[in-house]
Amino acid sequence: MDLFFNLLINGLATGMLIFLLAAGLTLIFGLMDVLNFAHGGLFVWGAYAGIFAYSWSGSFIVGILGAIVTGLVFGWITEKLIITPVYGNHVQQILITLGFMLVLSEFIKVAFGPNSIPVEVPSYLAGSWELGDVIVIKYRIFIILIGFAVFGIFQYILKRTKIGLTVRAGVMNKEMVQVLGINIKRVFLFVFMTGSALAALGGVLMAPYSGVIYSEMGMEYAILGFIVVVIGGMGSFSGSLMAAILVGLAGSFMAYYVPYLSLAVNMILMAIVLIFRPQGLFTNVKEG
């Protein structure tokens, strides 16, 4: 039983980190119909910028804020310069954002060097608690709490606030929202920047969890993010959470019980979903 709980906590923590990346993808695609393959680049820039701010200030909170600000800035740049010219064209979106992600990854090497950088867990989040025979690592519990908090906040914003209502209305009928005097382009820019900030937040939280950051990590975790989006349903915020938890748990348990399948289990899950429920496991965020 102690082994089960340890694997459960590990899987939940990994799932929450993937969710932060996938949540941004879900917001951007589900509300704006934009396929943003540059999302992994925003993830890795959040990791590097956040850890740089953490090292400079000595405060992990400052590091998190630095990552979020970086995500917002890069989100603004991406939407204005990269996405705006290709709205409505998915093929061009895939090509241009994939190229932009490669550019972002290479610029990491220019700004921070080509070598990987070790990262330590903040002292107040280091260590573990012992609950009987179960060892609970503090940082993993912190990640799980952050993940659920982000989910709850965004569910509330999307369904209970004026900005959430405006965004959802803009998805259904842009022209009608504009007639009411609302700048829908500005609203969608806000959504894109928010999704980018979530990716950057996931990056800086992943750094102490993995213990190292490197320029290629954006591509690796972007693949997991897209797997989660496909499994959960394209545009389903709740689906992204459930799918991320499923992927995290599957990876954790498979790595222990069936190690040779641990790398393939995510692809197997996605293949099963695509065969039996190609629309994903949950409804689209546009539908509520």
- Tell me if residue 277 falls in helix, strand or coil: coil
User: Where do we find the tokens 């241009």?
Assistant: 96
Tokens of 185: 């382009």
Other Cβ atoms within 10 Å of 135 Cβ, number: 13
Q: Is the pLDDT of residue 57 over 90?
A: yes
The reported pTM is 0.91
Helix axes 2-32, 184-210, angle to 10 degrees: 160
Q: Is the pLDDT of residue 42 over 60?
A: yes
| CA 60/CA 205 separation, integer angstroms | 10
Share of the chain above pLDDT 90, in %: 45
| CA 138/CA 47 separation, integer angstroms | 20
pLDDT for the residue numbered 88 = 80
More confident residue, 286 or 196: 196
Tokens of 50: 């956040």
Residue type, 7: L
Among 182, 198, 156, 204, which Cα is nearest to 50's? 204
pLDDT for the residue numbered 286 = 47
Band (177; pLDDT cuts 50, 70, 90): confident
